[in-house]
Structure 1
Amino acid sequence: MIEEDGRYTKFRKGVFSVLQTVTGPIISQEAGRILEHEHVLVGFVEDGKLTPGLYDRSDVVSSILPFLLKLKETGCRTMVDCAPEYLGRDPYILRELTELSGIRLVTNTGFYKRPYLPAFVYEASERDLAELWTKEAMNGIGESGVYPGFIKIALNDGKAIDEIQLKILRAAMRTSLETGLPIQCHTIGSEIAQHAYEVMKQAHFEQERFIWVHAHTFQDEELYRRLAAEGGWISVDNIRMESVQEHLDLLIRLRDIGVSGRVLLSQDTGFYEVGKPGGGTLNPYHLLFTDFFPAAAAADLDPQWLEECVTSHAFQAMSRRN
């Protein structure tokens, strides 16, 4: 519940139970390996003007499907699509891809950041935004019959959160408390992360429900310790083959400072980009498992821990409370 003084108290005691996919809730045994931060469709169209009329759904499906089928060969069964509304969220595409590939996809409610926000967001109150997102969580996204599995938001770049993104952050906390959904928050750099951490601490928000997206950009050991101590999830989600050593070094540091139990792994890749012929250059989803995991094991990172980052850690971070 949310008290009159604006403090965000705990949603309720309970267990992490199910992960909401576009075709229904699943338990941990069904989820298997989870890529917790990837993309299927993205459209960088300003002022919230991205609509399905700007792309061909069938072309997106046919372009992405081979990449999901290749991912399935690695034993990965679940993938989280992180494009929020007005940046490429399309529940119809995600449901069709789930049915064709057998990979369970997860979508979201929430908004990104300027300049990709529609005009009404600037005028709406924190409560207005939370009500919109809570309605989707409870009733589904439009007429699609698809329910969101998490809340996706973003912070602006810089040292301090600006007024609009602070409102979006607070609305996401309110929605999480009303619905039990976790929050994934695009965050670049340690200073803006520190500001968000302080906002949540002041509001008494349970940070175990919060995933620090792009946490590899923080590069601050004391901050990693602080975030992990509050229960936050450290998402190392830009793992690419051209930067293998950089990510290996970071994972070794995270292990050595004692926060390995709060680490998530993903790639932030894909994706069909609206406005580019054929969706532009699409990147595979499977390389984390086929290429990076062997390199990590060779660097003396525990293979069992790596599996936990994409199974038990990811399920706990992404699941919805009872």
Structure 2
Amino acid sequence: MLRTVSGLITAQEAGRILEHEHVLVGFVEEGKLTPEMYDRNEVVTSVLPYLLKLKEAGCSTMVDCAPEYLGRDPYILRRLSELSGVRLITNTGFYKKPYLPSFVYEISERDLADIWIREARNGIGESGVHPGYIKIALNDGTTIDEMQLKILRAAIRTSLETSLPIQCHTIGHSIALHAYEIMKLAHFDQERFIWVHAQTFKVTDVYKRLAEAGGWISIDSILPGTYEEHVDLLGQLLECGVGDRVLLSQDTGWYNVGQFQGGNLRPYHHLFTDFFPVAAAGGLEPQWLEKCVTSHAFQAMSMRS
């Protein structure tokens, strides 16, 4: 089952799933973003037409990937879901420096996990909305720094105690391999782990290693102007035998806090209306593309009993 802002849904109800997109983002450092910095009604009015267009394109479910202190707002997501008919999924978890509040540096891994576990069990604040997954990030580079290592380990604890999957912002194959080894030592089932921004890895052996461990390969920057390179990359993933672990999304949207009327919002529907035809013309099987946004995405994002 997938846990949306409105409750649990089945695979049939979920339909097509965009597993990594954004509704609202506020890049305010030190965890100081608050709802007072934006108008919820304006956000809803601005984003709603894009969700209606997505629904028209045949997509029923979208995962919002802004964690707390970076734009997560369960009230906006629930209202948008009610108005658009698109089932939205939100998260628990934190991002990375410099967008973390000071207390995150001071508390233990166990205490950090307890915050997320409470949200998973009791809901987010007074909203009545429950998170459907854990969203974290790793620092860029070759090794995981101490802060993000604590966040990764807390996410593993949370997943083990709540059955929620983890989505992890990961740039580059070296940092991915470091995280892979940490999870292996922790005996963590990496089928519960989604490698976000895996298009940045670009090393066939790394894709194979992560997929063989059960990890999900999220190719999520499929935007206009990048279609040909993504067709090539997806072809390579199929050739190296990891096609059954691939997810597709765009990492797009979004209402940007601090910009006039949210700035330049970008559509969510182009993956289906524009990229899929290009990909099929480039030799990728339409049935496989559909699996990436249906059965693959549902399995990757599902809660486990």
TM-score bracket for this pair, using the shorter chain length: over 0.9
**Partner amino acid for 2:46?**
S
Q: 1:165-244 alignment to 2 at 5 Å?
A: 165-244=148-227
Residue aligning to 1:102: 85
Q: 1:5-44 alignment to 2 at 5 Å?
A: 18-44=1-27
Residue aligning to 1:91: 74
What is the CA–CA distance in structure 2 between the aligned matches of 1:124 and 1:35, rounded to whole Å? 34
CA-atom RMSD, angstroms? Answer: 0.3
After superposition, the C-alpha distances for 1:250-283 in whole angstroms (9 at most, x for unaligned) are: 0000000000000000000000000000100000
What is the CA–CA distance in structure 2 between the aligned matches of 1:125 and 1:220, rounded to whole Å? 35
Residue aligning to 1:247: 230
Residue aligning to 1:300: 283
What is the CA–CA distance in structure 2 between the aligned matches of 1:230 and 1:191, rounded to whole Å? 16
**Partner amino acid for 1:305?**
W
After superposition, the C-alpha distances for 1:87-134 in whole angstroms (9 at most, x for unaligned) are: 000000000000000000000000000000000000011100100000
Residue aligning to 1:158: 141
54, 59, 81: which is aligned to 1:76?
59
**Partner amino acid for 1:51?**
T
**Partner amino acid for 1:137?**
A
Residues 1:57 and 2:40 are matched in the alignment: yes
What is the CA–CA distance in structure 2 between the aligned matches of 1:151 and 1:271, rounded to whole Å? 20
What is the CA–CA distance in structure 2 between the aligned matches of 1:306 and 1:124, rounded to whole Å? 43
Residue aligning to 1:113: 96
Query: Could you say what secondary structure the match of 2:274 adopts?
Result: helix
Query: Could you say what secondary structure the match of 2:275 adopts?
Result: helix
Cα displacement (A) at 1:74: 1.1
**Partner amino acid for 1:227?**
L
257, 270, 273: which is aligned to 1:290?
273
After superposition, the C-alpha distances for 1:216-247 in whole angstroms (9 at most, x for unaligned) are: 00001000000000110000000011111111
What is the CA–CA distance in structure 1 between the aligned matches of 2:26 and 2:66, rounded to whole Å? 9
After superposition, the C-alpha distances for 1:130-167 in whole angstroms (9 at most, x for unaligned) are: 00000000000000000000000000000100000000
Residues 1:144 and 2:122 are matched in the alignment: no
User: Unaligned stretches of 5+ in structure 2?
Assistant: none
Query: Could you say what secondary structure the match of 1:188 adopts?
Result: coil
What is the CA–CA distance in structure 1 between the aligned matches of 2:188 and 2:146, rounded to whole Å? 19
Cα displacement (A) at 1:183: 0.1
What is the CA–CA distance in structure 1 between the aligned matches of 2:10 and 2:227, rounded to whole Å? 32
After superposition, the C-alpha distances for 1:11-41 in whole angstroms (9 at most, x for unaligned) are: xxxxxxx100000000100000000000000
User: Unaligned stretches of 5+ in structure 1?
Assistant: 1-17
What is the CA–CA distance in structure 2 between the aligned matches of 1:48 and 1:137, rounded to whole Å? 21
**Partner amino acid for 1:30?**
E
